[in-house]
Structures are given as C-alpha cells and as structure tokens.
A and B are shown apart, each in its own frame.
Chain A
Amino acid sequence: MSQALNTNQLPTWCPGCGAFVVGAAIKNAITNKKLQPKNVVICYDIGCSGNMANLIDVCGFATLHGRSIPVACGVKKARPELTVIAQAGDGGLLNEGLNHFVHAARRNDRITLILNNNQIFGLTAGQQSSATPQNAISRATGRINETAPLSAVDLAVASGAKFIARVPETDLKLMQEIIQQAIVFEGFALVEIIQPCKIWARDFKKTEFRKITKPFKRKTDLIGQNNLIGLLYWEK
C-alpha cells in the first residue's frame, strides 16, 4: 500500500470497518495512475466514511452532509484539468443529496463518485437509511424496515451515468482497479462500495455477490440485479 499519501492523523473508524480498505484503494489508485497529489481534489460527505478527509494527503475538502457532489462539480467546472472525486455515504447520497446524484449523472459532470454504502446511518448510531435492506431491523429504532432500499446503481442507470461499478469491501484489488479506471474516465463515474457497518448492520442478511468480468452492453439489463459486482457498465 502506498505510504506517500498518508497524513499524521489516526483514523476514527471502528476495527474492521470497510472504510480502511476504501481509503487504501483510493491512495493506491492515485499513486498507480501517477497523479500528483496536489492535482487531486477529494470532496467528502459528512459521516463515518467522510472522516477519511483527515487521512489522505491530497487537496481534501470536508464539505456538508449530502453536498460533496455540488462542491466537486463546482471544482471541476472551474478547473477541468484537476482530478475530482466526490465521496459520499448512503445517507449523504441516497437520503440527503439524492437530487445532486441524479442531476450530476444526467449532466455527465466529469467527477468520480465513491459511495461508501454501509447500509445504515452509522455515526448517529444505527438509524435506517434509504439503503437499509428490506425487513432488516435497525438497532436504533428496533423496528423492521418495511420499505425496499434505493439502489444507487439503478438510479445511475436511469439518470444516464456513463460508468457504473459496484465492489464489495472484501476485494481491495478489484476496488483499486475500478477506482483507477474511474478517476481517468471522461465523464460521470459511480463506484459503489458495499461495506455493511460492522456495528449497526452486522445482523443484516449478507448479499451473495456474483462477479462479472465483462460490462453489460445494455445498461437497462442491470436494473434490479443488486448482487452483481465489477465494472457493470462503461460507455466509452
């Protein structure tokens, strides 16, 4: 793992959190692509995974809950030569800032969106989010979640995204390969990382993933297939 992009700060994450893997994958991808850290801007959401802002030595910007996308889009519009990444959790992307996600994909804003999907509101202690699986019991409320979750991949398809990928937290190699492709992609790129919270989502039913090796030709075929992982769709 690349040491060059480390700061002197300690992570605030719980042991076993998927965010450690995601942080490593982002740093490796930047290093492998030989990007100068000062030319990389990462806009962070608020929440557990957003605390990554303190840990990667690039031009980091800890923004607001649900608002990493608008800030990132402004940066990219102003300075197209910079590599711009927006990070968001499922609360920030599928609850608070959903509007921006749909529109950035529609406009094909040239940013990479990294979604840390831990399936729950983590930092506020376990309330259900729009990504919480149906019938799961959220520990904060003790209630069964009666509603089906929103799929970021399905929304990206419907909104016209040109690069769509889903990766589990357990596959660092695949994650960094896909992030590497995403950050040099000339268009809106979604990389969803499934990293169920080790504290609040540990009782949720585990998804059995199926890795695909070739992206889909027709993106609408993706809809509803929430167990697929890999680069799912890519429009050159």
Chain B
Amino acid sequence: MNNKVLAIKICAPAGSGVMQISELLCAVLNEAGFYSLAYPEYPSRIRGGDNNVQILISDRPELAPQNKVDVLFLLDENLRNDHLKDIKNNGQIFSTATAKIDALSEVKQNPFVKNTALAGYIWKTLGQDLAILTQQIEKKFRHKHLVENLNAAKQGYDLASKIAEYVLRGVKEKIINATGNKIMADFAVKAGCEYASIYPMTPITGLLSHLSKKIETITPEDEIFAALSTVGAAYAGKRALTATSGGGFCLMSEAIGLAGMAEIPFVVILGQRPGPSSGIPTYSAQADLNFAINVGQGEFPKIILAPGDLEETAKLTLDAFNLADIYQIPVIILTDKYLSENRFSLLQKTIEKIKIKIDRGKRFSANQKNYAHYQLTKDGVSPRAFPGETTFLTNSYEHDEKGFSTDNVEIRNKMMAKRMKKTNGLKGGFEIFGDKTSPTAIIGWGSTKTQILPLLERNTKYKYIHIWRVWPFPIELKRELKNIKKAIVIENNFSGQMAKIIQNETGVSVKAITKDDGRPFFQEELNKLIKQNL
C-alpha cells in the first residue's frame, strides 16, 4: 500500500445514494484537512445496476484513480463477485449486510438513510472525529430528513472500529472540492455570462443544474436551437454559453460555422464521451479532438481550449469568453466525463486568487460615422456594434465590409484573409512540468493532466508537456521538442489523434499511448506503460 494515499470504493445499485455519500465524504475529508478525489463509474440507468465511486484520500493534492483499492464497501451483496478483482492483496472488504449496517434500527426504519449510515461507518474506519461528519450532515440535510440522517450516521459510526493503518492526518489549509462542471458554471457566471441554452446530455448536464440557479437558462427542443440561440444572444451583446457532448456537437456544427463566418463570439463546452454514435454514454474519452478542430464546412478560425484540472478549468473558462469577444470567433472548451463529473479537491485559496478580468474586445464608438460591421483592419478584427447602437448587417453569406452579400472575387479573397488572420497573434498554449532538460518527454492534453502529474511526483526524470490550447496548435512546441530523443503522447482515444497532429505540425515523430475503453489511465497502469515506452 502506498502510505500516502488511501483508496476506497463504494458500490451500490443506482438510486442507493452512492453519489450522495461521495459528496458527503469529500466534504468531511476536506474539512478534516485531506485532499480527495471521487471518481464515479455508472451505467446509463436510473435504478439498479452497479454504480460505484472510487474515493482517493491523501495529504497531497495530486490524485488519480487506481486499478485496485485498499477498502471496498458494498451496499449490495450481489455486487461482491464483480468487484473482488478491485481490491489490493492486503485490502479489506465490507458490506452493509455483513457489517450489520442493514440491521441498524434507523436503517430498518428508514432504508433511505443506509448510505449515510455507511458514511458514518467509513468515517470511523478512517479514525476520524464524528463531530466533523455531524456538522456536514447538518449543512447538507438542513431542509429534509435531518434527524434520520444524523441518527444513521451516529449508529453507523458506533458500529465500526477504526483501522489503525488507515488513520491519516490532514493538512491545516482549507481544502474544497468541486466537479469540473461546477467550476465551469461558476466561472462562466464570473465572466459575465448571462444566457445559457443547454440540451441535457451526459457529461455536461451538471452545468445546466448549476447555471439555472444563477442566470437565464433554456432547455430547448434540440442542440440546434441551443447553439443558434446562443449565437443570437451573443450577437445581441450578451455573453452566452452552450454545452453538449459529441452527439449534440454534430447538430451544432452549422451554428459554429455561422459564428465563424458572421464573426460572432460563441462559447461552447464540448464534454467528450466514448463514441462513435451513442457509444458508452456515461464514460470518458478524448476522441473528439479532430472533430472539434474540423467542425463545420469551409475554413474559419476557432480556438479550442482543453483544461486539465480545476484551476485551469476556471482560468480557461474566463479566457474562453474573453478570446471569443476579442477575436469574434467560436471558442470550444474541450472537457470530458472525467474532468466534468469527477469531484476533485484543491486549496480554497487557489480558486479564490484567480483574477477576474473581462475584455470585450474592439467595440463600436458612438461618434463612428458610416459604421461597417466587417471593416478591414490590420489584425483582421473589426470594431463590434450591438443592436441598439446603430444599424448594421450580419451575414452568413460571403459579404463586403458593410455586410452585404457578394460573390465578388476581390472581396472574397480579402474577407477570407481577414478572418483567417485574426488569431495569428496567439502565443503559448502549453505548460512544462518535471525535468525541463530531460531528453525524454511525456506529452498530454486536457484531462490526462490529473493522471500524469501524480506520476511525476514519484519519478521526476521526465519532461512533461501539457497542452491546454489544442487549437490553433501551439507552434512554439516545435522548439521544445527539438532536443527530445524520445516522446510519447498519452491520450484517451483509439488512434492517437494528438500524436498525429504533433507530427504534422512539428515534423517530430512521437509515439501515441492510447486507451479508449471509457476509463482513464489508472495509476498502476500508466506507471507501467511509461516504463515500457520511455
């Protein structure tokens, strides 16, 4: 067992409140000074089946799911055989039946609090103080069934005995937890987003729930409306957002092209999951990279950001709105089920210190006579007017500076050049970790950052390049790869999409290490793969 990280897994049929326990346990763990990570796996069903969540507990921030856990907790004996393989050699297994949680008086009376009784049981196992749990339960259940939950937690707690080797000590600083969806919603609102139209789809549905509490949201007839009404709201001058997964993104292609041609700031969150088609809808993937880069007919500039952890998610959500306004183009935030729905933890101050800067880009000025929406400028970006300020024409057809439709050769060539050069000035797009001078490099993009970073803590001899802006391709990467003898790209897709892009853009040959079964790279697995390949 790795002494610094304790991994537990809780398994139950859907509808038993496994997600609730993981939320509660993460909150109490953070309160007690631990970093936590909750990695859920669930099928696409509402009741029954096998929902499980792996919870990592540690006094250090970098955490990634493991193949095998230290302790397994079952809410249903029927799931035992399926999960025996998930336990380490010296691990332990508890079920609510054999541990007699099912027989507790509160659970017998109110079976719906069985999950809270198990939380109490786990909390004692970890040797932690009941008061912290009680406090969080009072917060979480203050409106409903508080007494029942408090009783259940206490009875579960009293039933267990602490397991000395699992007793951990936390850190002093304030730790919080959140899913990627929650952070994107919070920072979209901080960026000034006032309108969101989202058709529900795993893994971004959580965004809709968070946003609907704060701003005007619409659950429309389809993703076509979601995307095009977002174009409309943005055109009208408000910051607006839509979000979807691959299937919905197919329907949004035309809106993204419209935003590209008509030069409308458009922000869309694409939460990847395994395709093709309906695929494995409740799992994770990074296989829509090529799709996002190539979405829509014709050629138009777009920016694709791929955050790797909560802090980066917050920053890039803010950036997305600014970049969309500055360049008047579509900006895609590429997330996945892993980043969107995992419950990660971090220091509260890390999130609090993120600066909120709002840049609406070049704007129309009131004394401007004879305004032309698509005025030709040196950098390709024209000042932008909102309806109500002046009359102007916005056009999905090729158009002249005034916006009037045209098929004139000279104007067409000028307008293509104008649009295509808008993002030329972009710099950076990646970050380097580990040994910056190492001749061997690990390359990743998006959510694999949280899987690769923990590995670097144990083995610092690698150079790790994390790409957070996947498009336009960060061309400065070419310089970084110049002295590299061997490089591998870790990605959650079948064909190594990023590896091919890197080879194409830099001319440097890199090897793709891929995994496309919906699950992330587990710690033990990634360790082995890197040793084998570098």
Q: Which residues of A contact B (CB under 8 A)?
A: 7, 9, 37-39, 41, 43, 46, 51, 53-54, 57-64, 67, 70-79, 81-82, 99-100, 102-103
Contact = CB atoms under 8 A, between A and B. Distances in A.
Of listed B228, B255, B388, B403, residue having the most chain A CB within 10 A = B228
Interface string B233-259: 111111010000000000000110010
Given A39-B388, A61-B235, A67-B254, A74 B393 contact: no
Contacts of A81: 388
Interface stretch (B175-183, B216-224, B466-474, B494-502): B216-224
Given A67-B224, A70-B227, 20 more contacts: A39-B387, A39-B388, A41-B236, A51-B405, A53-B395, A53-B405, A58-B391, A59-B387, A60-B391, A71-B235, A74-B232, A74-B236, A74-B240, A75-B387, A77-B218, A77-B233, A78-B232, A78-B237, A79-B236, A100-B225
Contacts of A54: 393, 404-405
Nearest to A70: B228
Given A77-B216, A103-B220, A59 B391 contact: yes
Contacts of B387: 38-39, 41, 59, 75, 79, 82
Interface residues of B, number: 41
Contacts of B228: 63-64, 67, 70-71, 74
B382 interface: no
A63 B396 contact: yes
12 contacts: A7-B404, A38-B387, A51-B405, A58-B391, A59-B392, A60-B393, A62-B396, A63-B228, A71-B235, A73-B229, A78-B234, A99-B221
Contacts of B194: 78
B268 to A, nearest CB: 13
B22 interface: no
Nearest to B242: A74
B390 A73 contact: no
Interface string B375-407: 000000000000111111111110000011100
Contacts of A60: 391-394, 403
Contact of A78 (B224, B233, B394): B233
A79 B237 contact: yes
Interface string B497-511: 000000000000000
B230 interface: yes
Interface in B258-283: 258, 262
Main secondary structure of the interface of B (DSSP, over half): mixed
A81 B388 CA distance: 9
Contacts of B229: 70-71, 73-74, 77
A70 B195 CA distance: 14
Given A62-B394, A74-B228, A79 B222 contact: no
Contacts of A77: 195, 216, 218, 229, 232-233
B231 interface: yes
Contacts of B232: 43, 61, 70-78
Nearest to A66: B224
B388 A82 contact: yes
Nearest to A41: B387
B197 interface: yes
A102 B220 CA distance: 12
Given A77-B216, A82-B236, A71 B231 contact: yes
Contacts of A82: 236, 387-388
A46 to B, nearest CB: 8
Contacts of A100: 221, 224-225
B254 A74 contact: no
Select the residue from A53, A57, A99 with max chain B CB neighbours within 10 A: A53
Given A58-B391, A63-B258, A100-B221, A74 B230 contact: yes
A63 B395 CA distance: 7
A170 B229 CA distance: 34
The 3 A-B residue pairs whose C-beta atoms are closest, nearest first, are A74-B232, A74-B229, A70-B228
Contacts of B195: 74, 77-78
Contacts of B394: 59-62
A71 B240 CA distance: 12
Contacts of B238: 78-79
Contacts of A78: 194-195, 232-234, 236-238, 240
